[in-house]
């Protein structure tokens, strides 16, 4: 009952309420992004949603569009300014996703929507993360965020998709607020946020190397 009907109703009511309450902050953020980073103010990117359907994700822009001599975008680490880092640390860049929630592309709570190119790299178990709407925050985000390995994230995503409940969503919501205040797990060491998921074989090799180093 909750998973099929009530969760969606809560998503609509709460996202509308939050949009109204935070509209001044969103307006100020949009103006600052336009002044400091230029246009477009909103970053758009295709992501995978429920049942592996593709949708357009909205975020406040947090990087410049600086390019090298050949016209290729510079690495994320060089395009992310102090202002962009602040947006991300406070999760202000995520606020436009409330419109994704209203549209029905996303839920407030669920597995984070990832790049379309990752689909062919999942195993059958990991693809079950798409049995539910992706969320602005989720079980993985309040269990370590970007400090977790991809394998750990996907395990938590699938666990959530199979055990959606009101009490679990409430727990994730309050744990997320606590993490936001502590600003934990914002980025993985050596990356602006986290490394790219290159596939399960590569991920397993990387984990083995990490374990070997830790034992030395």
Please compute Rg for the chain using Cα positions.
Answer: 18
- Strands 135-137 and 107-109 turn out to be parallel
Q: What is the pLDDT of residue 75?
A: 80
Query: For the chain, which residues score pLDDT lower than 70?
Result: 146, 183-194, 202-216
Sign of the torsion angle spanned by Cα atoms 65, 71, 72, 77: negative
pLDDT tens across 150-160, in order?
Answer: 999 999 999 99
Q: Where are the beta strands (DSSP E) in the chain?
A: 42-48, 54-60, 107-109, 135-137
Sign of the torsion angle spanned by Cα atoms 13, 102, 147, 192: negative
Q: What is the pLDDT of residue 207?
A: 53
């Amino acid at each position: 009952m909750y998973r099929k009907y009530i969760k969606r109703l809560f998503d609509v009511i709460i996202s509308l309420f939050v949009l109204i309450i935070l509209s001044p902050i969103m307006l100020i953020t949009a103006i600052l992004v336009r002044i400091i980073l230029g246009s477009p103010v909103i970053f758009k990117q295709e992501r995978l949603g429920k049942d592996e359907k593709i949708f357009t994700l909205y975020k406040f822009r947090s990087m410049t569009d600086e390019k090298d001599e050949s016209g290729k975008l510079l690495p994320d680490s060089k395009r992310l300014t102090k202002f962009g880092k602040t947006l991300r640390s406070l999760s202000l860049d995520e606020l436009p996703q409330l419109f994704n929630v209203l549209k029905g592309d996303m839920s407030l709570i669920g597995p984070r929507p990832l790049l379309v190119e990752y689909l062919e790299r999942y195993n059958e178990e990991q693809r079950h993360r798409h049995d539910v709407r992706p969320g602005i925050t989720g079980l993985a985000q309040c269990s370590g965020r970007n400090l977790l390995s991809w394998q750990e994230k996907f395990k938590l995503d699938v666990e959530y998709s199979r055990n959606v409940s009101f009490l679990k969503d409430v727990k994730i919501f309050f744990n997320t607020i606590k993490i936001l205040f502590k600003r934990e797990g914002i980025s993985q060491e050596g990356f602006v946020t986290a490394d790219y998921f290159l596939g399960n074989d590569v991920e397993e090799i990387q984990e083995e190397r990490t374990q070997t180093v830790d034992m030395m």
